[in-house]
Chains A and B, each alone.
Chain A
């Protein structure tokens, strides 16, 4: 009944204005709310979209059955294509099909206005999922702010453990050795010396001057030495105020240096089209092909060069590198320290996709309770967590003597574990258990961890989605033109003005208001 009503209302509006904020206007008249718990003797029925949906799980898989039994629930697991999530899900929502639990991949205010998300009371969270709540409190209490809208909680924040690690800066160790540098460069000056030698001293030994220092992936580390890695329309927090990184005066200095390096041919002229010329995003073909000696878009687990025992070949990108350059060696670097002592690598940040419940679920206290209990269990019960995340022991994974968990690759189907129900009910990453299961890997990650600049956690504002495309383009074009010398470095001031005039000021005003509101001031 309720589903139909919401559906009709949504659909009509969606047809008119495709999921804009209009819905809140007529969403208020929801007087006859049937707030009652379902029959407790029957399993609680949940439409489930609270997972990544990499592949469609078998509804009769053992893991699904186990979870259903454990929580006296019956799941209707939705499957949407993970790569076209929003396209598919928006049509369903507009047509009135709404799950009980979903990953929130859109801006929360938008979903709230359209009646997709329901409030989750903090009391319920603390009552049914105390361990989870405590983990978030301890990890980064500001994560709660990311799911708040007008002071109410509309989602369960989640942690991306890998986002706690900055991206990895990778040097060609054998090149450094060859040009007589025995210490990994740490300051901008040392970087410049090393890159110059890479360019001029033929580190690959082919007798041709065809090597460069770096390409586009390392640019943001250099900017980091000046206080922030500007990337499209990203923010930086300055004295409690949110500003655009792209227009900061420090970036002018960074660009002046990069322009100088470009003129000295330290930067590969092909950086414009990127050092990744296809394939997996963390690959750098320029690095694999002896063109540059410094890269840095991957994570520590992509470039892991410490091998864990027999048969282990290291991280995926390290393997690709070794296949292309069997005699090459890499070394993990540190982001360069700038003139004012600042440094840092780009970092994803721990804030990950939050989980939300819909009004349909919020109406039934049993559903809310079940969902929160499931979440709590995955934060308290290691065996349960490992099973729902990775699948069955002995089939999908095995435990090493030190307790780390190794995935067993199915020779017939790369997605086999997803089909058997893995990664459906884990709901979100549990950092403590994640580290426990991959002890060696995270120990390695910790050993090469550097300083990073995580993104500023702010609420999304409408004006940003409106302007960010053009602003990002403006930033990228201008930065590129300044680096290659097509525009003088001094044109940065004109760029900063035009950036702010073309929507930048508007976004900055909106986002600061929203930020203050989020902080509850």
Chain B
């Protein structure tokens, strides 16, 4: 309807936008449909040619396998635990670090800021990090997953900029009414910063949910490993020709079926898919709020 009233160039532009968006959408939805279909299909359907976008025959053996695999559920618990703990820590530390840096009255403020920003560009590297974690005694514990990345400089700077943009008069008026520094922080600044903190927690939660490399390095016990690592293991298994590695293989070694692999994928992405639509508005809002304002 509306499109009619617009100029030709606008219409061309909009058509172009919608075509690109539809293609983008299809490129995301189609693989999802394939995964869903394969996860509920019997092996002869999976091995047949063509796309499998709609299930033709059903076989839930993949899901049965997944639900029997206790390791997946333990890993699930670990991932949820690290996500909650890690996100809470990140929000708390980022906020408490950003607030003083946003104060012009902080002595040597440029120095402290530069010191923190420095770490954004230089890091110790893999092996020094590993040794650090090891010598701190964090190996094989959830702390090795949440502490190293607890404060992200990037997020810290976003929060700092956000707080700087809050009107100073708010604080002044609170001071006149007799509020102390901590009271101002928790009762004035914190509630006003909610949008940016939501963004920070979302970034951090998604990061924790998807992380696996740290778990591979630092966690020795299989039952302490995170979901993504277990997932990776299940999905890769069996695709590599042992001839290439020269490994020994038990002939009767059980092989994960494709439907089980895809079922695992579905089970593990489902929660984040359910949560995402409700959170994504914060993403949009938060990034906008973090940028230069008014």
Contact = CB atoms under 8 A, between A and B. Distances in A.
B240 A281 contact: yes
B140 to A, nearest CB: 11
Contacts of B222: 55-56, 79
Given A88-B217, A279-B258, A280-B255, A429 B248 contact: yes
Contacts of B239: 279-281
Contacts of A352: 246-248
B251 A438 contact: yes
B251 A281 contact: no
Contacts of A428: 248
A14 B125 CA distance: 11
Given A88-B217, A160-B248, A279-B239, A94 B49 contact: no
Contacts of B256: 414
Nearest to B258: A279
A407 B127 contact: no
Given A84-B216, A353-B246, A438-B251, A279 B130 contact: no
Nearest to A300: B251
Contacts of A515: none
Contact of A281 (B127, B128, B241, B258): B241
Contacts of B47: 279, 283, 285, 288-289, 320, 323-324
A162 B253 CA distance: 14
A348 B69 CA distance: 33
A334 to B, nearest CB: 20
A441 interface: yes
A411 B253 CA distance: 14
Interface string A356-376: 000000000000000000000
Contact of B134 (A95, A288, A441): A95
Contact of B127 (A15, A289, A324, A414): A15
Interface stretch (B38-46, B108-116, B265-273, B281-289): B38-46
B36 to A, nearest CB: 16
Interface size range on B against A: 35 or more
Report whether over half of chain A's contact residues are helix, strand or loop; otherwise say mixed: loop
B146 to A, nearest CB: 20
Interface in B222-274: 222-223, 229, 232-233, 236-243, 245-256, 258
A52 B125 CA distance: 29
A318 to B, nearest CB: 13
Contacts of A56: 221-223
Contacts of A412: 68, 70
A499 to B, nearest CB: 21
Contacts of B233: 81, 83
25 contacts: A11-B131, A52-B247, A52-B248, A81-B216, A84-B216, A91-B126, A94-B127, A95-B127, A97-B134, A158-B248, A160-B246, A280-B238, A280-B239, A281-B238, A281-B241, A288-B47, A291-B49, A297-B241, A320-B44, A323-B47, A348-B243, A348-B246, A352-B247, A353-B246, A441-B251
Interface of A: 11, 14-15, 18, 52, 54-56, 78-79, 81, 83-84, 87-88, 91-92, 94-97, 105, 158, 160, 162, 277-283, 285, 288-289, 291, 297, 301, 316, 320, 323-324, 348, 351-353, 407, 409, 411-415, 423, 428-429, 438, 441
Given A91-B127, A95-B130, 17 more contacts: A81-B216, A81-B233, A83-B240, A88-B216, A88-B217, A97-B134, A105-B245, A160-B246, A281-B242, A282-B241, A283-B47, A288-B44, A289-B49, A352-B246, A414-B65, A415-B71, A423-B250
Cβ-closest 8 pairs across A and B: A56-B222, A414-B254, A323-B44, A281-B241, A280-B238, A407-B252, A324-B44, A94-B127
